[in-house]
Amino acid sequence: MEEFIKKIEEEFEDIEPGKLKPESNFREMFDWNSINALIIIALVKTEYDVVINAEDIASSKTVSDLYNVIESKK
Protein backbone atom coordinates (compact mmCIF):
# COMPACT_ATOMS: atom_id res chain seq x y z
CA MET A 1 0.00 0.00 0.00
CA GLU A 2 2.81 2.46 0.89
CA GLU A 3 4.52 1.82 -2.45
CA PHE A 4 1.21 2.33 -4.31
CA ILE A 5 0.65 5.66 -2.55
CA LYS A 6 4.20 6.78 -3.33
CA LYS A 7 3.70 5.97 -7.03
CA ILE A 8 0.48 8.02 -7.12
CA GLU A 9 2.20 10.95 -5.39
CA GLU A 10 5.07 10.79 -7.91
CA GLU A 11 2.61 10.75 -10.82
CA PHE A 12 0.62 13.80 -9.68
CA GLU A 13 2.63 16.88 -8.78
CA ASP A 14 -0.48 18.49 -7.23
CA ILE A 15 -0.33 15.96 -4.37
CA GLU A 16 2.13 16.91 -1.66
CA PRO A 17 4.30 13.88 -0.72
CA GLY A 18 3.11 12.30 2.52
CA LYS A 19 -0.36 13.85 2.24
CA LEU A 20 -2.09 10.87 0.61
CA LYS A 21 -3.28 8.16 3.03
CA PRO A 22 -5.11 4.83 2.48
CA GLU A 23 -8.35 6.45 3.69
CA SER A 24 -7.93 9.55 1.46
CA ASN A 25 -10.51 10.20 -1.21
CA PHE A 26 -8.04 10.49 -4.06
CA ARG A 27 -10.43 12.41 -6.32
CA GLU A 28 -10.68 15.19 -3.71
CA MET A 29 -6.91 15.60 -3.32
CA PHE A 30 -6.68 17.71 -6.50
CA ASP A 31 -8.74 18.74 -9.52
CA TRP A 32 -9.92 15.34 -10.75
CA ASN A 33 -10.68 14.81 -14.44
CA SER A 34 -10.70 12.11 -17.10
CA ILE A 35 -7.03 12.70 -17.93
CA ASN A 36 -6.15 11.83 -14.33
CA ALA A 37 -8.18 8.63 -14.63
CA LEU A 38 -6.15 7.69 -17.70
CA ILE A 39 -2.93 8.39 -15.81
CA ILE A 40 -4.05 6.07 -12.99
CA ILE A 41 -5.05 3.36 -15.51
CA ALA A 42 -1.64 3.61 -17.22
CA LEU A 43 0.20 3.62 -13.89
CA VAL A 44 -1.56 0.46 -12.74
CA LYS A 45 -0.93 -1.29 -16.07
CA THR A 46 2.76 -0.34 -16.11
CA GLU A 47 3.59 -0.95 -12.45
CA TYR A 48 1.30 -3.88 -11.62
CA ASP A 49 0.46 -5.40 -15.03
CA VAL A 50 -3.21 -5.14 -14.10
CA VAL A 51 -5.91 -3.65 -16.32
CA ILE A 52 -8.45 -1.44 -14.61
CA ASN A 53 -11.07 0.75 -16.24
CA ALA A 54 -12.94 3.97 -15.55
CA GLU A 55 -15.71 2.04 -13.80
CA ASP A 56 -13.17 0.54 -11.36
CA ILE A 57 -11.94 4.04 -10.56
CA ALA A 58 -15.45 5.47 -10.27
CA SER A 59 -16.47 2.73 -7.84
CA SER A 60 -13.40 3.40 -5.67
CA LYS A 61 -13.75 6.22 -3.19
CA THR A 62 -10.49 5.91 -1.29
CA VAL A 63 -6.93 4.98 -2.17
CA SER A 64 -7.50 1.77 -0.22
CA ASP A 65 -10.59 0.93 -2.32
CA LEU A 66 -8.60 1.38 -5.52
CA TYR A 67 -5.72 -0.69 -4.16
CA ASN A 68 -8.14 -3.50 -3.28
CA VAL A 69 -9.54 -3.48 -6.83
CA ILE A 70 -6.01 -3.84 -8.21
CA GLU A 71 -5.16 -6.64 -5.76
CA SER A 72 -8.36 -8.51 -6.69
CA LYS A 73 -7.37 -8.48 -10.38
CA LYS A 74 -3.83 -9.81 -9.92
Report residue 39: phi and psi, to 5°: -65, -45
What is the mean pLDDT of each successive set of 10 residues along the chain, which is 74 residues long?
96 91 92 94 98 96 97 96
Domains of the chain (ranges, CATH numbers): 2-72 (1.10.1200)
pTM for this predicted structure? 0.93
Please tell me the distance from the alpha carbon of residue 42 to that of residue 49, in angstroms, as a whole number: 10
The per-residue pLDDT for 29 is 86
% helix, strand, coil for the chain, step of 5 = 60, 0, 40
